[in-house]
Structure 1
Amino acid sequence: MELRLLVTFEKVATVLSFTRAAAELKYAQSSVTSQIRALESSLGVELFDRLGSRIRLTEAGERLLPYARRMIELADEARAAVADTEEPAGTLAVGTMESLTNYRLPPLLEFFHHRYPKVRLSLRPTLGDETRQALRQGTYDLGFLMEAETEHAGLDSEVLTTEPLALVAAPGHKLYGAAVTSADLVRQPLLATEPGCAYRDLFERELTSVAGAPVDFLEFGTIEATKRAAAAGLGICLLPEVTVAAELAEGSLVRLDWTPPFTLRTQLAWRSGKRLPASARLFLQRARQLLAEQG
């Protein structure tokens, strides 16, 4: 089996689209189709079921996929072993999220831009389950997670920092200055980012358990929109402290005296058993250093 055929097969199996695989591999779609047919011919089996405009792996394709990934990773490892003395280069796909991209990572991105100009960082905004799935499939090289759990099936990860959270509201809010309980919060207007964000989901779970019924949130999607709504007096929101530090300092938001009954940890994860290329190892090292400095 030719390695290039396995690379094409792995990409099609990951994205389940000949068109998208061709675009990402920078091939003509006809080349992708012919390579898959050549691989199927050499193995004597069909690897994909063609269902009109959709495709899916056959049982044979499902069995081949983990072997293909291992062979590709071994080839990458061999290539890296003889090239580690060279300047890191290539694309590094990193799953990230708004709170990190906007508030923690700019110094890291600037460092890589100037120190390793041959490395192209491709930041992919995803959350939780979507990031983990992309890492397992090999779509991402690395992925940031902000989770209470630190063990993730099929992934290796490193905890970079504990992520402080802040419950904030507009100045003059009636709960400001008082000791606040979860029971106090279920009777207040609540603001939130989208579902799937770990701190929002844990906050909702805590208040639902106290209220004995689902609580309502007014959703604003992004952190910036949620902060503006809180500053305008529309309600209370729970956000990572780093995202509201400037507003707390200038007084457009105030912090309420409530301690979350859960702890979030910012982590960097990658697929278990994957040998990280030099660029990914450097990214992990620098991320570890940066978040330690930020506290």
Structure 2
Amino acid sequence: MDIRQLATFHKVATLLSFTRAAVELKYAQSSVTAHVKALEESLEVNLFDRLGGRVELTDAGRRLLPYAEQMLALAGEARGAALGSEEPAGVLTVGSMESITSYRMPPLLEFFHHRHPALQIVLRPSLCAETCHALRQGMFDMGFLMEAETQHPGVQTEVLGSEPLTVVAAPDHPLTRAEKVTTDDLRATQVISAEAGCAYRELFEAELNDGTGESLPFLEFGTIESIKRGVAAGLGISLLPSVTVADSLESGTLVTLPWTIPFEVHTQIAWRRGKTLSREMRVFIDQTIKFLSEEYARRP
């Protein structure tokens, strides 16, 4: 086994695709297949199950993955030490929700672009449960979570801040005339939401369904921007992170409904518990805590 084979294995295991791994590594697909086959032959095990168009890690592949990560991280540090370079370099794959990627991370990404140009941050759209799974499987180096819970099996987290939430409606929505909006009021109106699996959507849905004995229909829109447009058009109300609606509230295209939100979610940076942190991961974690903790302190 050699480092190049391990790097190819790691990329295929991360993407679960030989084709996409070849594109990202800038190899011919036949080269990716050859690297993995050579590694399998040297270890005398199958690392992937190829089921039609799908690729999955075998039990042996899952056991190898954390060791491959450690060896690749050490190889990177050894290369930097040999070259006398202390500059973080390489690729970090980070799972993140749309609200964090679009509204919280730009200053952080700008910092890495200018300060550490040799370090490439690859963002993968992912909901919280998917991110935790990907971290445990070694498919992501790091991830961002927005959940009520701050303890996750097999995952280490650092809380960056409590994420303020706001219920919004169009300015002419009937509920905007109420001095106080109750949960029963919200149950009687159309709700526009993100897709199932979004933590704050699930908390909101549970609150509205509590005691009713029935599941209330939510109108699902694909992105936060499409949700905001739907709300502004009068199609319903929505619960969203306050940072995502700040501009719309300031411009008057949306207004806040006076409903007391009975739950709280926390934005967290996460990585696999027990994982050996590379220099690049430590830099990313430290700078994320610095930038985003200050951002949350300023609100929203």
Q: Relative to structure 2, which stretch is displaced further, 66-75 or 131-140? A: 66-75
Q: CA deviation at 1:16?
A: 4.1
Structure 1 residue aligned with 2:232? 231
Percent identity, please: 55
Q: Relative to structure 2, which stretch is displaced further, 214-223 or 176-185? A: 176-185
Structure 1 residue aligned with 2:129? 129
Corresponding position: 1:286 with 2:283:
no
Distance of aligned partners of 1:131 and 1:190 in 2 relative to their CA distance in 1, 3 Å threshold: same
Q: CA deviation at 1:226?
A: 1.1
RMSD: 2.5
Structure 2: gaps of 5 or more residues: none
Distance of aligned partners of 1:115 and 1:80 in 2 relative to their CA distance in 1, 3 Å threshold: same
Structure 2 residue aligned with 1:265? 266
Corresponding position: 1:178 with 2:175:
no
CA distance in structure 2 between the aligned counterparts of 1:113 and 1:50, rounded to whole angstroms: 37
Task: Say if 2:7 and 2:72, in contact at 8 Å, map to a contact too.
Answer: no
Task: Say if 2:144 and 2:268, in contact at 8 Å, map to a contact too.
Answer: yes
Structure 2 residue aligned with 1:67? 64
Structure 2 residue aligned with 1:91? 91
Distance of aligned partners of 1:292 and 1:211 in 2 relative to their CA distance in 1, 3 Å threshold: same
CA distance in structure 1 between the aligned counterparts of 2:49 and 2:220, rounded to whole angstroms: 40
Q: CA deviation at 1:290?
A: 2.1
Task: Say if 1:147 and 1:198, in contact at 8 Å, map to a contact too.
Answer: yes
SS at structure 1 position matched to 2:66: helix
Q: CA deviation at 1:136?
A: 2.2
Q: Relative to structure 2, which stretch is displaced further, 171-180 or 183-192? A: 171-180
SS at structure 2 position matched to 1:143: strand
Task: Say if 1:145 and 1:267, in contact at 8 Å, map to a contact too.
Answer: yes
CA distance in structure 2 between the aligned counterparts of 1:53 and 1:221, rounded to whole angstroms: 26
**Count of residue pairs the alignment pairs up:** 292
Structure 1: gaps of 5 or more residues: none
Task: Say if 1:90 and 1:118, in contact at 8 Å, map to a contact too.
Answer: yes
- Opposite residue 2 of structure 1, the aligned amino acid is D
Q: Relative to structure 2, which stretch is displaced further, 36-45 or 201-210? A: 36-45
Q: CA deviation at 1:224?
A: 1.1
CA distance in structure 2 between the aligned counterparts of 1:45 and 1:147, rounded to whole angstroms: 39
The TM-score with structure 2 as length reference comes to: 0.86
Q: Relative to structure 2, which stretch is displaced further, 285-294 or 28-37? A: 28-37
